Amino acid sequence: MMKPPVELHRLISAAIHDPDLAKRLREAPETVYAEFGVPEALREALCADPVAAVEKIGVHPNLQFKFLGQLGLLKLSSLTSVQPFLNTLEDRNGADS
Amino acid sequence: MGRIVSAAATSHTFGNDAADAPAAERIQSGMAQIGNIVAKSLPDVLVVVSSDHLNNFTLDAQIPLAIGIADEYIPLGDMGVPKTPFKGSREFGSAFAMYCSDIGFDLTPIENVRPDHGVSFPNAFSNPNGTARLVPLFLNTVMTPSPSCKRGYELGRALRAFVETQRPINERVAVLGTGGLSHWICLPDSGRVNEIWDRRIMDFLVSGDGDKIASLSREEILRDGGNGGLEIATWAFVAGASGDVTGRVIYYEAMTSWWTGMGGVVMNIDAT
């Protein structure tokens, strides 16, 4: 059974809560990969083509989503804030909502 | 004894209206309607059941079932959900965890959680003033092995029994199961929506056939509803918690632009 990319999973999970780390991941990925102990073979693949690499490496789909989002490579174009919708609730449901 | 005063299931993702503005508006209207029904049932406690999306839990320790026991929650803020603190209920969450441990469920009590959109977005449109105390219950279908629909259904039944036999007289509890419907996350089928399957799931729930959702295997769900479709374990929870009453579909849209079949149902429960 293939070992999952646990080091990369930990990196992605950490970057969710650390904007500085997420920024460094975008700007200097090789350095960050090394910090988290991502194996060298994986680092090369990730630097060459992150989109193909995460699939080939077996990154968990939910973490792929976050990783590609962190790198600005996510193809889902419908992302938006829910705040404008929440602001309409009072009008939709009445003043007591 | 307490009462389940309302129960509903809804998708918990969201998107812009660029691809289909009328459909996006119908989804918003449906979510608002569901939220209004839940709010008007005047719950003391709102149990929101969802998978975390690996924002709070990690793959280093794959916790399948967990319950929030904090007295306050601040949303993570993903999808732009306001980071407005909500009251929780340490007492309710802890008591349910204890009850479950006596009947064959091991819920992991968690203190330090910032509920992501799976919990915080439906809470925001169903409990906008924070009147009800929020109790997040995690069926973490992102984990392997993922909690099954059968497990979700039985846990929902456990919540109902807990509320009706262990809780103070007249305590009012609302249940909101969130997630689904069909979606494929970062897979070759991303963007695919299986409307036939989605409507079948909703029909099971509104027909009072919760056991039919409970009987769905992981393999069937992955094949027909995608890895994101595993979230319907929370819909099975709603079936169990509502006592297999019938319900009604509030909204459904096959939103391929959002990568998700979007649906919501409300169970026919008399809140008076």
Does B60 contact A62 at a Cβ distance shorter than 8 Å?
no
Q: Is the peptide bond before A71 cis (omega within 30 degrees of 0)?
A: no
Cα–Cα distance for residue pair A94/A97, rounded to 1 Å:
6
Q: Reduce the secondary structure of B145-174 to three states and give it as a string.
A: CCCCHHHHHHHHHHHHHHHHHHCCCCCEEE
Q: Tokens 């915080």 identify what position? A: B120
Cα–Cα distance for residue pair A18/B271, rounded to 1 Å:
43
The answer to whether B265 and B210 are in contact (CB under 8 A) is no
Tell me the residue type at B25.
Answer: E
Does A13 contact B54 at a Cβ distance shorter than 8 Å?
yes
In this prediction the pTM is 0.96
Burial of A45 per CB tally in 10 Å (0-12, 13-18, 19+): middle
What does the pLDDT average to over A4-19? Answer: 93
Does A83 contact B82 at a Cβ distance shorter than 8 Å?
yes
Two tokens, residue B46 = 């709102």
Two tokens, residue B156 = 């929902």
Confirm or reject contact between B12 and chain A (CB < 8 A): no
Cβ partners under 8 Å of residue B195, min gap 6: B182, B252, B254, B261
Q: Reduce the secondary structure of chain B to three states and give it as a string.
A: CCEEEEEEEECCCCCCCCCCHHHHHHHHHHHHHHHHHHHHCCCCEEEEEECCCCCCCCCCCCCCEEEECCCEECCCCHHHCCCCCEEECHHHHHHHHHHHHHHCCCCEEECCCCCCHHHHHHHHHHCCCCCCEEEEEEECCCCCCCCCHHHHHHHHHHHHHHHHHHCCCCCEEEEEEECCCCCCCCCCCCCCCCHHHHHHHHHHHHCCCHHHHHCCCHHHHHHHCHHHHHHHHHHHHHHHHCCCCCEEEEEEEEEHHHCEEEEEEEECCCCC
Mutate to test the interface with B, among A9, A66, A78, A91 (most CBs of B within 10 A): A78
The answer to whether A67 and A60 are in contact (CB under 8 A) is no
Does B125 contact A86 at a Cβ distance shorter than 8 Å?
yes
Two tokens, residue B178 = 């969130």
Q: Is the pLDDT of residue A96 over 60?
A: no
B40: nearest Cα among A89, A51, A93: A93
Burial of A75 per CB tally in 10 Å (0-12, 13-18, 19+): exposed
Q: Which residues of chain B have pLDDT under 50?
A: none
Whole-number pLDDT of residue A74: 82
How close does chain A come to B165, measured CA to CA in Å? 31
Integer CA distances (angstroms), B215 to A61, B151, B209, B220, B265, in order: 25, 10, 10, 10, 20
B176: nearest Cα among B30, B71, B272, B45: B45
pLDDT tens for B4-48 read 999 999 999 999 888 899 999 999 999 999 999 999 999 999 999
Two tokens, residue B165 = 């036999």
Whole-number pLDDT of residue B133: 98
Whole-number pLDDT of residue A95: 53
Cα–Cα distance for residue pair B262/B272, rounded to 1 Å:
29
Tell me whether 0.85 is exceeded by the ipTM: yes
The answer to whether B164 and B158 are in contact (CB under 8 A) is no
pLDDT tens for A24-79 read 999 999 999 999 999 998 999 999 999 999 999 999 999 999 999 888 888 777 88
Confirm or reject contact between A73 and chain B (CB < 8 A): no
**Length of chain B in terms of residues written:** 272
Which residue of chain A is at minimal alpha-carbon distance from B20?
A78
Confirm or reject contact between B259 and chain A (CB < 8 A): yes
Q: Tokens 């691809």 identify what position? A: B19
Give the model's confidence band at A97: pLDDT under 50 very low, under 70 low, under 90 confident, else very high. very low
Whole-number pLDDT of residue B200: 98
